[in-house]
Amino acid sequence: MFCNKLNLLKNHIMKKQLLISGLFLLTIIATKGLFAQSANIPVDEDTKLITYKEVIQQPGDADKLYLTAISWVNSFYNNPNEVTTTRDRENGKLVLDHRFKIFNIDKSGLKTDAGVIKYNLKLEFKPDRYRYTFTDFNLQATSKFPLERWLNANNSTQYENFLYQVDTTVNGIIKSIKKGMVPKIEKPDEW
């Protein structure tokens, strides 16, 4: 009888140890996923530069699309006049130079400043369509540091994290552009 109770106690302890080990392993796997996120960075075949580019079908003439984009720029950026380097209504083209911060993230989740990424955004308009092009990504430093250096770097985990932040930020801007370019439905003022 004593041996039965001892065996039951051993089995119970082993099950608890197995459960605790499993939870610990799941925690490690989940935490590793947070730090080793990968990005889908598009690289232009001709220029070999990181380039996000897409043509969007949107009803409207080029001038209307241009004015809609100006409204989006004015609402999205804190200082749209500083960001916009070219406003060419005749040729349906906007060029913006902007920047955003990236961060180092340690194992405890603490974020520290890792630098500023500068990029170029070109918006072009034709009847019933517009095109955005994000390119010329550089880490702001004393000399030009193209982000393409990070694509095949040795310190891949850190650079993958930075590229993931770039990808996430640019995709957020793209989502905002697409939402901002949808024409607003004007309701008649009936009273």
The domain spanning residue 71 has which CATH number? 3.30.530.80
pTM: 0.74
pLDDT in tens, 97-110: 999 999 988 888 88
- Domain of 159, in residue numbers: 52-180
Give me the pLDDT at residue 108, please: 85
pLDDT in tens, 122-161: 999 999 999 999 999 999 877 888 888 888 766 577 788 8
Give the C-alpha separation, 119 to 121, whole Å: 7
Is residue 144 one of the residues assigned to a domain?
yes
Is residue 46 one of the residues assigned to a domain?
no
Give the C-alpha separation, 94 to 73, whole Å: 10
pLDDT in tens, 54-95: 999 999 999 999 999 999 999 999 999 999 999 999 999 999
Is residue 67 one of the residues assigned to a domain?
yes
Give me the pLDDT at residue 75, please: 95
Is residue 10 one of the residues assigned to a domain?
no
Centre a 10 Å sphere on the Cβ of residue 128 and count the other Cβ atoms it contains.
Answer: 13
Centre a 10 Å sphere on the Cβ of residue 167 and count the other Cβ atoms it contains.
Answer: 18
Is residue 93 one of the residues assigned to a domain?
yes
Of residues 90 and 17, which shows the higher confidence score?
Answer: 90
Q: How many domains does the chain have?
A: 1
Is residue 27 one of the residues assigned to a domain?
no
